Structure 1
Amino acid sequence: MRPDILNTGYRPGTKALFALIRLFSRQPIPDAAKLVFYRPDFYGDRAKKFTHEAMRGPSPWSVADRELMAAYVSKVNNTAFCIGAHTATAAQAYQDEKKVQAVLTDLTSAPIEDGLRATLHLLGKLTREGTTTADDMRKVLATGVTRAHIEDALAVCAAFNITDRLADAFSFELLTPSGYASGAKFLLKRGYQ
């Protein structure tokens, strides 16, 4: 259920910021942004910091790889808003929309490196089942992925399992393709801060 407070519950400075963003982007403010601005002291500031670190902090994974992970976790969760947002962002980051669509259509045959494929399988299992095993980890490590890779991928998985659930709980409104493209451009330029 979408609470009306997401449309109206903001301080005057935040309302002015939203108006400027709408003016310059010619796009509506995504509900993900509205949510983090609604109660920044309770959720928004912490969520932005954690998500930005997972998605843009130092990592052996590229920004494109992490955006693909976000899209894949969102696909496993069947969260339409986040699938759209992070598919668009991964496609822009890779400059390869076909690659991203191939992963989301059939991970097993997608044209990606074995380490990334194994990691996405791990994130999918963790998202679906809520658990992994030592054998699951060994399979990923056997592809050449390091412990640091796994830790960073798990941070992305955690961030988007939370975000996906909030998007579904608050019925985030879907954007148009140009809205997702505009959001992707912003995320690639500014990150999640």
Structure 2
Amino acid sequence: MVAEGQLPAFVRRLIPSFMGRPLGPMLTLSLRSLARRRPQLFDRLGDHRGASYRIDPNDLAFSFIVVPDGAMAFVRVVGRDDPATADVTIKGPILMLLGLLDGTLDGDALFFHRVLSVSGRTEAVVALRNAIEDAELRPSDLLGLHGTLARLADAGVLAGLSAARHLAERTAVHSKAEA
């Protein structure tokens, strides 16, 4: 049975755990670039800039340890069973977690519907949520794109995420009907 918002099994099989490894350095560069362009985003975290956040997509074989410390920010990819500790753990399907970043989904609603789970330092979670909501991030912001290229990237990425969420929803409905 497919849980709400999870990638269908055939898609998960296309994303083996080793694919997560190159994401760490790429995401670190992206996060640091964003910090140079929009430092106020990271300032909004206050004392929690140096907190570690484990972002754990429960439908992938790996998770991310993120420290959003401005120019010193980093992202490390670890296996789901890796004992690495973090100040905060946010767990849920990857499509739902991405929806939090781009603002298409409401984190409070996902939390209260038990699609997401959060543990650890509550004040750090609230600071991160507020910073992300205030930022109104678009995919192009994370990629450092501007102008026409930014608009194309935003449209393409958001359309792709929407299609993926729709596929996940249809797969979940189909799986429930078969059960």
Q: How would you bin the TM-score normalised by the shorter chain?
A: 0.3 to 0.5
Q: TM-score, normalised by structure 2?
A: 0.33
- Answer 1 or 2: which has greater helix percent: 1
Given the two structures, how large is their TM-score scaled by the length of structure 1?
Answer: 0.31
